[in-house]
C-alpha cells in the first residue's frame, strides 16, 4: 500500500501566489483611485472657497449697490479691469485658478452675479441673487 504525502505541489503554489498577487494589485488600484479622487476633491473645494470669497466680498462692499447697472462679464483670463472696485478681490484669481464674474439685471430691484472659477481640469460655478432691500 502506497502512502500519500501531504504536501503542496508546484502548481498549487503557483496558483496561490497568482491569486494573492491579483488581490494585492486590486487593492492597490482601489487605493490609488481613492488618492486621485481625494486630490480632485481638494482642488474643487479650493475653487468653491475662492468663488464663495468673491460673492462674500461683493456683499461686504455693498451687495446690490456695488453691482454695475448693466449686464457685464469680467473675465479673469484677460483680465478685464475692474469698474469702481467691482469685482472685488480675489478677482481675477491666482496662479492655479482663474475667476470670471458675470452680472445680470434680473429686475429693477434684483441683480444676479455668477462666479465661475476655472483651473486646468475643470470649473465650478456659483451664483447669488442680490436684492435692493438687503
Buried b (16+ CB within 10 A) or exposed e, 97-111: bbbbbbbbeeeeeeb
Residue 93 domain flag:
yes
Above 80 in pLDDT, residue 5? no
Give the pTM.
0.76
Give the C-alpha distances (Å, rounded to integers) separating 55 from 15, 25, 36, 39. 60, 45, 29, 25
Question: Is position 87 within any domain?
Answer: yes
Residues 82-104 have a mean pLDDT of 89
Residue 51 pLDDT: 95
What is the mean predicted confidence (pLDDT) over 40-69?
93
Residue 133, all three cell numbers: 432691500
pLDDT of residue 21: 97
State how many domains the chain has: 1
The arithmetic mean of pLDDT across residues 90-111, rounded, is 93
Tens digit of each residue's pLDDT (9 = 90 or more) over 9-35: 889 999 999 999 999 999 999 999 999
Q: How far apart are the first and last CA of the chain?
A: 99
Q: Which domain holds residue 40?
A: 10-131
Q: Per the domain annotation, does 1 fall within a domain?
A: no
Answer whether residue 4 is part of any domain. Answer: no
Residue 7 pLDDT exceeds 90: no
pLDDT greater than 90 at residue 134: no
Answer whether residue 26 is part of any domain. yes
Which pLDDT tens digit goes with each residue over 56-73?
999 999 999 999 989 999
Amino acid at each position: 500500500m502506497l502512502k500519500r504525502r501531504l504536501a503542496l505541489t508546484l502548481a498549487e503554489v503557483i496558483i496561490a501566489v497568482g491569486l494573492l498577487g491579483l488581490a494585492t494589485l486590486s487593492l492597490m488600484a482601489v487605493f490609488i483611485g481613492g488618492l486621485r479622487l481625494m486630490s480632485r476633491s481638494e482642488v474643487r473645494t479650493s475653487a468653491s472657497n475662492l468663488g464663495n470669497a468673491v460673492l462674500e466680498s461683493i456683499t461686504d462692499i455693498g451687495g446690490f449697490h456695488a453691482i454695475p447697472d448693466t449686464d457685464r462679464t469680467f473675465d479673469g483670463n484677460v483680465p478685464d479691469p475692474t469698474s469702481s472696485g467691482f469685482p472685488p478681490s480675489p478677482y481675477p484669481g491666482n496662479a492655479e485658478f482663474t475667476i470670471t464674474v458675470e452680472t445680470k439685471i434680473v429686475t429693477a430691484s434684483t441683480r444676479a452675479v455668477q462666479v465661475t472659477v476655472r483651473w486646468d481640469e475643470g470649473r465650478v460655478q456659483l451664483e447669488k441673487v442680490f436684492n435692493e432691500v438687503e
